[in-house]
Amino acid sequence: MTTKTVIAADYREWQVSRRIEWTTPAVGDEFEHDVDAGNGAVVLILGTLVFFWLVLVVWVPGGVVFPWFYWLVVIVGLGFFPFRWLLRRPFTITAKTQGGYDLPPEKWTGMVRGLATAREETKVVVRSLKNRSTPGHADSPLQPIN
């Protein structure tokens, strides 16, 4: 979780935070699309892959030496999907203030997918607070929360 303190143009102090979501939350109409096969499917697929590689290694004749690029392909192949999964996790961005003077406390929150997108959106929120005193903009994922 990354948190930044920002002084807005109206001199209110905002806390802008970004945190990774390890499970994709079901939101409104998207629930049906987020249904997956569950942990059983992951175990089945990983078990099948391990079995495939064991069979491949066991059936190799004794004198065969694998070249270095074979092992490179194996490592890249095994690491691609977990790495992609990690980079495409959803992030929740939150901007909140205790209020100030005659202004009430506010909390804005939204979700973006991907580390690079989350970093960029956090920069946009900070810039918007410094220039306009509000974290949201026309096509912002952040929405006010009551």
Q: According to the model, what pLDDT value does residue 122 have?
A: 94
CB 5 within 8 A of CB 15: yes
Residue 103 identity (one-letter amino acid):
L
**Boundaries of every domain in the chain:** 2-22+89-145, 30-87
Q: According to the model, what pLDDT value does residue 65 have?
A: 85
Write out the DSSP string of 105-133. PEEEEEEEESHHHHHHHHHHHHHHHHHHS
Condensed to tens digits (0 to 9), the pLDDT of residues 17-63 reads 999 888 766 655 555 555 555 677 778 888 888 898 888 878 888 88
Percentage of the chain lying above the pLDDT 70 cut? 89
Could you give the CA distance from residue 86 to residue 115 in angstroms, rounded to a whole number? Answer: 9
Could you give the CA distance from residue 63 to residue 51 in angstroms, rounded to a whole number? Answer: 22
